[in-house]
Chain A
């Protein structure tokens, strides 16, 4: 079974440009997560979806960030306009809620974003 697929793997963009990161979760998974990883702040949960519905976006840093999940097999994280401090690795992850918890979260390989 294919894992979580993210694109692009690497992106370098200029400050002020729009950035769109894409994610295809594992088929059959009902939860999707977007994380950001930086040296300074570690791994941060930005937003997560359950059955395509955003449940908690309290981790989204500001209005420049938005995320959508139009269907069960696709999600986007958009930054508009981008700033140098947005440079980070962005991970998409998914899981299937089963039983009483303890579900494994499956991570993509990440999108490495550099804003210059």
Chain B
């Protein structure tokens, strides 16, 4: 069975500082990994995803994530936070277990950006 753990329900950074949101997963087979972002009063939208190939994945708005199989992690980073990055971020994992690719979402991490 697949599962996702997001460390920290809230992360607070100053504008211009490094953003690091942590995600660890559990999967019995090679996983597909996703980060989704939810801005206030909106639905979730894809930020980036890892399927196969290069383990460093670049997404929209300057975000990137690295798949580390040995650490079962897929942490999200951005070198310099902007006020507009304030949102809820969800890590998700899917695999072929059971013949389905239905993703499992983490509990989410709220990113707070201070001026």
CA distance A104 to B60 in the complex (A): 14
Which has the most chain B C-beta neighbours within 10 Å: A91, A93, A104, A109? A104
A residues less than 8 Å from B102 (CB atoms)? 45, 48, 56
A34 in contact (CB, < 8 A): no
Q: In the complex, which residues 22-72 of chain A have their Cβ closer than 8 Å to any Cβ of chain B?
A: 42-43, 45, 48, 55-56
The answer to whether B101 and A110 have CB atoms under 8 Å apart is no
Q: How many residues on the B side are at the interface (Cβ–Cβ under 8 A)?
A: 24
Contact A110 B32 (CB under 8 A): no
How many Å from the CB of A72 to the closest CB on chain B?
19
Which single residue of chain A is at the shortest CB-CB distance from B92?
A105
User: How many residues of A are in contact with the other chain, CB < 8 A?
Assistant: 21
- Whether B108 lies near A102 (C-beta < 8 A) is no
Secondary structure type dominating chain B contacts: loop
Could you say which residues of chain A place their CB within 8 Å of the CB of B49? Answer: 102, 104
Cα A56 to Cα B101 in complex, Å, equals 13
Which of A42, A93, A106 is most buried by chain B, counting CB atoms within 10 A of its CB? A42
**Interface 0/1 of B42-81, CB less than 8 Å to A:** 1111100111100000000000000000000000000000
Residue of A whose beta carbon sits closest to that of B50: A102
Query: Contact string, A75-116, partner B, CB cutoff 8 A, digits 1/0?
Result: 000000000000000010100010011111111111000000
Give chain B residues whose Cβ lies under 8 Å from the Cβ of A110: 42-43
**Once bound together, how far apart are the Cα atoms of A91 and B50, in whole Å?**
24
* A101 in contact with B101 given A42-B108, A43-B90, A43-B108 (CB within 8 Å): yes
Q: Do the beta carbons of A109 and B32 come within 8 Å of each other?
A: no
- B42, B51, B90, B107: the one within 8 Å of A101 (CB): B51
Interchain Cβ contacts under 8 Å between A and B, 6 examples:
A42-B105, A43-B107, A102-B32, A104-B49, A109-B41, A109-B42
Residues on A facing B (Cβ under 8 Å)? 4, 42-43, 45, 48, 55-56, 91, 93, 97, 100-110
Contacts A45-B105, A56-B102, A101-B32 supplied; 11 other A-B pairs, CB < 8 Å: A42-B108, A43-B108, A55-B100, A91-B43, A101-B96, A102-B50, A102-B51, A102-B94, A104-B34, A107-B45, A110-B43
